[in-house]
Amino acid sequence: MEKIYNLSIVLSFIGLWITSIVPSQLEIIFGFILIFSFGILHGSNDILLIENFSKKKSNHPFIKVLFVYLLTITIAIVIFYFVPILALLLFIVFSAFHFGEQHWESKMTSEVRVMTTTFYLFYGFFVLFLLFIFNAQEVVEVITSITSYTIDQSLVSYGLITSTLIMIFFGSLLNSYIINFKSIIFKELFYLLVFAIVFKVSTLIWGFALYFILWHSIPSLFEQVNFIYGHFTKTSIIAYLKGAFPYWLVSIIGLVTVIYLLKDEKLLYAILFSFIAAITFPHALVINKMFKHKKTQSN
């Protein structure tokens, strides 16, 4: 994992270089390309993870997964359409916990689940609000386009302050339970500094894409491949991609179809974010189960 994070640092600064040579509109396009390629791909193999938990093969895995994913996407779009503010809040909460768990789970040796779970959640909140604070006007515009509500930019500042204080508080508590916590804290602070630089210089979508792909999706792919196949090699990577590709393709076709049918620019952000949410909600639960299963197996 250390090598992956080192690669993420290098690629993050390459992303900053791209920022300096392309216009912001092109950044947004590149960002969505990354999100809907690697980003969606890393959440496309949930069925293989589930089968790995139970060790029982389904008779019709593709049909079942196709149905569940299309149903989930439909429900997410409906919620975003009728109660968009609730859907957006749920999306942020699920994403925050998922980001925090993915980043910290392998580093945690404590069995104090409430403490670690809360730390995961507010670490994720901190990263998201760090992104939001440097792009507050864009965030307000996106929220308005999705929910028709205009929030005050000060809410972003309050969110960052609150998540920072709670993250520090629970981090201090975990320091008493985790032996190597102090040894990794300076490295983690450096990572946060990298995030801050990326978020400060980039647009909202490009900054999110760089974090989502380089610091979340790629490490998650590494964890998933290791969990499913027991090793991370060229052969296992190819096998993972072959298994994930049909589900990824169905997801993208579904997204493009909905956008084409609606053809409403005002609904574009609602469609895109509801689609990402539809992937995030079940995926976050599956990854959480994967981590629990790993700990059970190691005990």
- Is 23 a member of any domain? no
Residue pair 258/63 in contact (Cβ under 8 Å)? The answer is: no
Neighbours of 296 (CB within 10 A): 8
- What is the model's pLDDT at position 61? 55
Q: Structurally, how many domains does the chain consist of? A: 1
Question: Distance between CA 249 and CA 27 in Å, rounded?
Answer: 24
Helix (H, G, I), strand (E, B) or coil at 205: helix
The 8-class DSSP code of residue 213 comes to I
- Is 54 a member of any domain? no
- Is 65 a member of any domain? yes
Q: What angle, rounded to 10 degrees, do the helices at 154-174 and 136-147 form?
A: 110
- Is 106 a member of any domain? yes
Tell me: the pLDDT tens digits for 194-205?
999 999 999 888
Percentage of the chain surpassing pLDDT 90? Answer: 29
- Quick check: 183 pLDDT over 90? no
- What is the model's pLDDT at position 75? 76
Tell me: the pLDDT tens digits for 28-58?
889 888 888 888 888 777 777 776 765 545 5
Domain carrying residue 219: 2-17+29-48+59-298
Average the pLDDT over 176-204 and give the result: 88
- What is the model's pLDDT at position 154? 92
- Quick check: 192 pLDDT over 70? yes
Question: Distance between CA 32 and CA 139 in Å, rounded?
Answer: 16
- What is the model's pLDDT at position 246? 84
- Is 175 a member of any domain? yes
- Is 284 a member of any domain? yes
- Is 22 a member of any domain? no
Tell me: the pLDDT tens digits for 124-157?
999 999 999 999 998 888 888 778 888 899 999 9
Question: Distance between CA 92 and CA 87 in Å, rounded?
Answer: 9
- Is 261 a member of any domain? yes
Reported as a pLDDT band with limits 50, 70 and 90, residue 210 is very high
Tell me: the pLDDT tens digits for 242-254?
888 887 888 788 7
User: 2: which 2 tokens?
Assistant: 């250390």
Between residues 273 and 210, the one the model is more confident about? 210
Neighbours of 273 (CB within 10 A): 21
Sign of the alpha-carbon dihedral angle for 296, 102, 2, 170: negative
Q: Which residues of 62-81 are buried (b: 16+ CB within 10 A; e: fewer)?
A: eeebbeebeeebeebbebbe
Average the pLDDT over 13-38 and give the result: 87
- What is the model's pLDDT at position 133? 96
User: 11: which 2 tokens?
Assistant: 């690629």
The 8-class DSSP code of residue 152 comes to -
